[in-house]
């Protein structure tokens, strides 16, 4: 049991996803054999409160990187995660429900509207952002990346960012990554199974 990962494909066969065959809903996720603790960083949440790696402790979190000028994929993912958490509510105890965290990787444009952008999907969703170097540290811990594209003629730019959602456990460790699509029901079942694994912090306490 070194740092190797196990590729876990829940529900339908993974091969169908790549061959373009329309498959039953599935989850394309990776569970880390050894969850990796997040390195220190200091960000701010959308209420202006300090948000550090320690803020992850005590509950499960689903973290996605994105930017508020993203009108398509980021809102679509947040809407899907709202559905995932809603489905999870039927499967796990309320204290195991994860918080959804949106890491705004475009701080200059994100800061002013982060809260509006995030809470439209659920009032409990939390937006965080901060200085570029701190965002980099957070991304690195989450095994995610974000890159600004070359500006166009008008100076406009987009940000390419990891599509995966990071699952952080209640001890503040990266436990899994889920790749799109985030079909709500299978993703919720995947997470419920993950939360119930005997080696997971809250599961042990619950026994």
Partner 1 sequence: MKGVLRVMFRPAALRIAALVAVLCTTVLAAERLTAENAWVPWAPPAIKVHAAYLTIVNRSNVDHVILGAESPDYERVELHGSSIRDGLNVMRSLDRIAVPANKQVAFEPGGLHVMLINPKRTYGVDDRIRLVLRLGSGDQIETSAVVRRRAPGNDVQHHRHHGSHQ
Q: Which residues bind partner 1 (CB under 8 A)?
A: 17-18, 20, 66, 68-76, 79-80, 83, 112-113, 116-117, 120, 145, 147, 152, 158, 160-164, 179-181, 183-184
Structure tokens of 117? 């952008």
CB of 127 to partner 1, least distance (A): 12
Q: Which residue has the tokens 């991304």?
A: 139
Structure tokens of 132? 């570029």
Name the residue nearer to partner 1 (CB basis): 72 or 108: 72
Structure tokens of 115? 């809260």
Strands 61-66 and 99-104 turn out to be: parallel
CB of 199 to partner 1, least distance (A): 27
CB of 114 to partner 1, least distance (A): 10
Determine the Cα–Cα distance for residues 177 and 164; give it in Å rounded to an integer.
6
Name the residue nearer to partner 1 (CB basis): 77 or 200: 77
Name the residue nearer to partner 1 (CB basis): 66 or 201: 66
CB of 159 to partner 1, least distance (A): 8
Determine the Cα–Cα distance for residues 16 and 114; give it in Å rounded to an integer.
37
- Assess contact for 146 and 66: CB atoms under 8 A: no
Name the residue nearer to partner 1 (CB basis): 160 or 206: 160
How many alpha carbons lie under 13 Å from residue 150 in its C-beta half-sphere?
2
């Amino acid at each position: 049991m070194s740092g190797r990962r196990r590729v876990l494909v829940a529900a339908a066969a993974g091969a169908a996803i790549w061959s373009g065959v329309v498959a039953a809903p599935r989850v394309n996720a990776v569970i880390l054999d050894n969850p990796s603790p997040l390195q220190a960083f200091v960000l701010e949440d959308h209420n202006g409160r300090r948000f550090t790696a320690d803020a992850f402790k005590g509950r499960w979190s689903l973290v996605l990187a994105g930017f508020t000028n993203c009108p398509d994929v980021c809102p679509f993912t947040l809407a899907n995660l709202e559905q995932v958490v809603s489905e999870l509510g039927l499967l796990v105890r309320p204290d195991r429900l994860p918080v959804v965290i949106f890491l705004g990787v475009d701080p200059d444009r994100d800061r002013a509207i982060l809260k509006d952008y995030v809470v439209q999907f659920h009032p409990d969703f939390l937006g965080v952002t901060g200085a570029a170097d701190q965002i980099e540290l957070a991304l690195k811990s989450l095994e995610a990346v974000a890159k600004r594209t070359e500006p166009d003629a008008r100076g406009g730019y987009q940000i390419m960012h990891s599509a995966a959602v990071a699952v952080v456990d209640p001890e503040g460790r990266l436990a899994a990554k889920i790749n799109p699509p985030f079909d709500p029901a299978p993703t919720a079942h995947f997470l419920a199974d993950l939360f119930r694994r005997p080696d997971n912090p809250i599961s042990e306490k619950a026994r």
